[in-house]
Amino acid sequence: MKSGNKLIKALWLLPVLLALPAYFASAALTGQQVYDQYCASCHKLGTYDSSGTPDLLGKGSAVSGKYTAGVSGHKGVTLTSSDITVVSAFLNNPVTTAPLAIQTASLPNGSVGTSYSQILTASGGRTPYTWARSAGTLPTGLTLSSSGVISGTLSATGTFTFTARVTDAAAASTTKSLTITVTSGTAALSITTSSLPDGTVGAAYSQTLAATGGSTPYTWSSSGTLPPGITVSTGGALAGTPTAAGTYSFTARAVDSKSVTATRSLSLTIAAPPATPMSTSDKNLFLTNCVVCHTPSGLEYRTASQIQSAIRGNVGGMGTAQLTALSSSSLEGIARTLVPGTPQVVSCATCHSSSTPSPTPTTGQGIYDSNCSGCHKLSSYDTSGSAPDLYRSTRIDSYYTAGTTGHQGFTMTATDISNLKTFLNNPTAAPAPAPTPTPTTGQAKYDSSCASCHRMGTYDTSGTAPNLYQTTKVDSYYTAGVSGHKSITLSSTEIANLKSFFGATTTPAPAPTPTTGQAVYDANCAGCHRLGTYDTSGSAPNLSGDGSRMTEEYTAGISGHKGITLSATEINNLKTFLNSN
């Protein structure tokens, strides 16, 4: 058996010899065709075929010695009397047939969504032929096989012109330009929804997108920005409960059953919720728990769930025992104080004798301390955060636009943004930040000064240093106003309160550890990471669908990623929550 084109010829002839003997018994072949089909895989023939051996040129008379009509002869081949006559003549005078030419003059048109199949034909040259597209474009959904079959399902309208090339067994080739026009067959698919009614923060929203034409059913999706809390279903339902005010632009996309696509640009405006009257108890909740660090300016429309998430994530140091212990009704009350409009907003004059309110921090340092330091670090100025270092960061403009709610729900003025960028580029030029007010209760002092190392009865079981429950050693470690153990300075009141807290006959119950997947994410992950559409504000990797990674980061009861210790239940719940968002 020969290599190269001889092998190709032999492989091509095999199915012919096995499957089509009756056809050749009845079809009149030319001498060239008989030679190509039965002799060319082994022999050569003058200049007509120079690749085999021996050469059959001038050997026409030998054919009758090898074959008898209708009887299996040389190599098991059976020839008709006509085959013997014409191949004998061809061996003596191997003149080729007409030049290679494509006989297909034109192709029928089609319509979107229908099946299409046409066979290109050629004549002359030496068979077999090999087909290919050498230029132009076939209609979307169609292919051209090497045997010359154009087939597939049409999926786009238009006029498509391409060049078909046919190559024969002697490597001769020729081309022809052909055109196929594809029509829609039905009315063009289009989205008929041209506008959407406004929604309101906190109020359920539901509208159904509509389309016409094409082939039903339609499958819907969207790109761009939808209001937080709103999604588009595959059935075209635009629904959910919006959580942030603003005007959001997005593109609706409909695909019909034949894969035809239509799009339309839409916008949806979400209005702020109406003001809810603030009670005296609401105001007192804000004054008791928030006014030390915050004024309502910049916190407008924060919801109870957002406040709770910030507490659980210890954003800006909010994870204190006092704030963790707040009930959901208390958080709702605080949220009511953050709705703009008299008498909802609590002014600084509520607490201060001066009628002139203290200004919201606008220096770069003040903005970093109030909005960024809870998660991030900043070169040598702030080394305690776990989120990325913001030193010389160039991403501020991508997170904030003046007057618009940005990263982590913060709203800044143009001056704020400019000052923050200046401070991030040169934080060492700023004076040291003012210290946070020192807690004075025994429990608060333990949380801030002792809990990182020690344990405390059932209140805190996570430390490795000695258990301080009912310890009598406080006076040996601290003297009022003097730097003591671990360079901590306590007042006489703080020492007394700390001793009282250690000596309590029953230790206070610790804040309940979150066990649901969402609660574990809010408390431990949301400060840095993102999670699908549930949480889009973090800069660390998106954890959507990455539940399996938790078994790599955590082992039940052992300190894992970022020093966090989770139970087996919490790990499983967190994996489930990440995979479902």
- Give per-residue pLDDT as tens, 300-345: 677 888 888 888 888 767 778 888 888 888 888 877 777 765 344 4
**In 3-state terms, what secondary structure has residue 426?**
coil
| CA atoms 318, 323, 324, 327: torsion sign | negative
The CB-side HSE value for 71 (13 A sphere, CA atoms) comes to 7
**496 — phi, psi (to 5°)?**
-65, -45
Residue where the block lists tokens 């002799």: 39
* Kind of pairing between the strands at 199-200 and 261-271: parallel
pLDDT at 18: 44
pLDDT at 233: 96
pLDDT at 484: 79
Answer whether residue 205 shows pLDDT above 80. yes
pLDDT at 108: 94
The arrangement of secondary structure in 101-183, i.e. its CATH architecture, is: Sandwich (2.60)
Domain-wise residue ranges, the chain: 5-92, 101-183, 190-271, 442-502, 517-579
The CB-side HSE value for 428 (13 A sphere, CA atoms) comes to 3
- Record the pTM: 0.28
- Any idea how long the chain is? 581
The tokens describing 99, both together, are 């030049």
Q: How far apart are CA 457 and CA 469, in angstroms?
A: 5
**Using one digit for the tens of pLDDT, what is the confidence trace for 507-518?**
444 445 557 888
Cα 109 from chain centroid? 40
Q: How far apart are CA 314 and CA 308, in angstroms?
A: 10
pLDDT at 295: 62
Q: pLDDT category, 174, cuts 50, 70, 90?
A: very high
Q: Are 101-183 and 190-271 equal in CATH topology?
A: yes
The DSSP secondary structure of 381-396, one letter per residue, reads TB---SSPB-TT-S-H
The tokens describing 58, both together, are 């001038």
Q: How far apart are CA 532 and CA 555, in angstroms?
A: 25
Q: pLDDT category, 250, cuts 50, 70, 90?
A: very high
Answer whether residue 143 shows pLDDT above 90. yes
Answer whether residue 357 shows pLDDT above 70. no
Answer whether residue 140 shows pLDDT above 90. yes
pLDDT at 342: 38
**What would the mean pLDDT of 417-435 be, rounded to a whole number?**
72
What CATH topology corresponds to 190-271? Immunoglobulin-like (2.60.40)
Q: pLDDT category, 374, cuts 50, 70, 90?
A: low
**What would the mean pLDDT of 158-172 be, rounded to a whole number?**
91
Q: What is the mean pLDDT of the chain?
A: 80
